[in-house]
Amino acid sequence: MNLALWIGAGLLAAVALTGGVTKTFVPGEKLAAAPGGEWTAAVEPGLVKALGVLELLAALGLVLPAALGIAPVLVPVTAVCWVLLMIGAMITHGRLGEFRFVALNVVYLALAAFVAWGRFGPQPFTT
C-alpha cells in the first residue's frame, strides 16, 4: 500500500509539474491554441499564471514533505487541494464540451483522493 501511495503521489506530482510549467511559462496565445488550453483565452493571463504556480506548489507538496520528513501531513493536504482543483477543471472543460479532458480530470481526481485517503488513513507517514 505504501508503494502504491508513493507511486500515485509521484504520478500526480509529474502531472502537476507539467501543467504548472506550461501554465506559468508558455505564452498565452500558444497555450490557448493547444488542445485543452482553449479555456485560457477567456480568462486573465494572471489567473492562468496563478493556477500554474499553484500546480508547481502541488508538485512539490505531493512529494517533498514526506521525502524530507518535514511536515509529511502536507502530502494528503495537498492531495485534497488537488481534488478541489480537479473539480474546477472538470467544470471548466465540461462547460466547453471537452469531455475527454473531463474524463482525464476524473482520473487525476480519483488518484488524488486515493493518496489523501491512504495518507490520512491506513498508511500515514507517522511511525
Give 6-52 as a 3 state SS string. HHHHHHHHHHHHHHHHHHHHCCHHHHHHCCCCHHHHHCCHHHHHHHH
2 phi/psi in degrees, rounded to 5: -60, -45
* Model pLDDT, residue 125: 83
pTM value is 0.92
The per-residue pLDDT string of the chain (127 residues; one tens digit each, 9 = 90 and over) reads 999 999 999 999 999 999 999 999 999 999 999 999 999 999 999 999 999 999 999 999 999 999 999 999 999 999 999 999 999 999 999 999 999 999 999 999 999 999 999 999 999 987 5
SS3 track for 83-99: HHHHHHHHHHHHHCCCH
Rg (CA), the chain: 15
Under 8 Å between Cβ of 84 and 101: no
Question: Measured between alpha carbons, how far is residue 115 from residues 51, 63, 76 in Å?
Answer: 21, 11, 6
